[in-house]
Amino acid sequence: MIPKYLYTPHIELRIRVNDSEGVLFMENDMKVQKGTTTVGIYCKDGVVLAADKRATAGFIVNKKTQKIHKITDNMAVTMAGLVSDAQLLVKLIRAEVKLKDLATLRASTVKETANLLAGMLYMNLRKMSMVPGIVSFLLGGHDHEGHHLWDLGIDGSTTEVEDYVSDGSGSVFALGVLEALYKKGITVEEGVKLAVKSIGAALQRDVNTGNGIDVIVIDGKGVRTVLEKDLNIKIEV
C-alpha cells in the first residue's frame, strides 16, 4: 500500500562501488516535499486555524481529508505529514493530556500541551523506521492565560506565534497573502476571512493543495467550526 502524505518525502537511494577495495557504499538522499497548506492566525479575541482537504501520494488519494483535529474542548491542531503518524500522534496527545489533567487535578495549559506534543515529534522523527516519521502541527488553544498559537516543527522544535504562520507546499502562496493583509489586533471575524483568502491563494497555485477548506476558531467559548467547504470541479458535456 502506498503511504499517504500531507508532506511527501522523496527518498533516493544511490549505490556506489569502490572498485579498488571492493567496498559497497549506500547513500540516502531524502528531500521533503510538503504537500498541503495549513494556516494559523493570532487574533485579539482568539485563534483561527485553517487547512485544505487534499491528501496526496504522487497523485490525489483523498479529497476530503480532515487536517484539523480537536485535542481538548479548548485546543486543536492542524496536521501535515505522513497521515498514519499524524493520526496516531493526535490520538496519543489527546490521551496524554487527559491523563495529565487527572494526575494534576487541573486543566493543562496550551504551552504544556505544545511541549508534550513537541517531545513526541522529536522522538517520532528519530525512531528507526523504513518510512520517515515526518509530521508537523500548528497548535491553537485557550487557557487561563489567554489564547495561544504554536508552530511545532517536524524536528520537535516549538515556536510561539503572535501573528500568523503557514505550513506546507502552499505556504509560500498563503504567506504572501498573510504578509500583505494581516494587521495586528484583528478580530476573529477578520481572521477567518483572511484565512480563507490565504488558503484560496494556495488552492489556485499549489498542485498539492485543493478540494476545499476547513476553518475553526478557538476562543474563550472553546473550539468551533466556522467553515467547511468542498471544492469540486466537474466537466459536463
Please answer whether residues 89 and 122 qualify as being in contact, where contact means their C-beta atoms are separated by less than 8 angstroms: no
Amino acid at 188: V
Q: Are 64 and 211 in contact (CB under 8 A)?
A: yes
Under DSSP, the state recorded for 201 is H
Give catalytic status of residue 209 as yes or no: no
**Run of H or E residues at 97:** helix 83-104
13 close to 27: Cβ distance less than 8 angstroms: yes
| Residue 147 CB contacts under 8 Å (≥ 6 apart), including other chains | 42, 45, 46, 47, 110, 140, 141, 218, 219, 220
Cα 168 from chain centre:
8
Catalytic residue among 8, 36, 37, 209: 36
Q: What angle do CA 208, 67, 212 make, to 5 degrees?
A: 55
Q: Which residues are catalytic?
A: 36
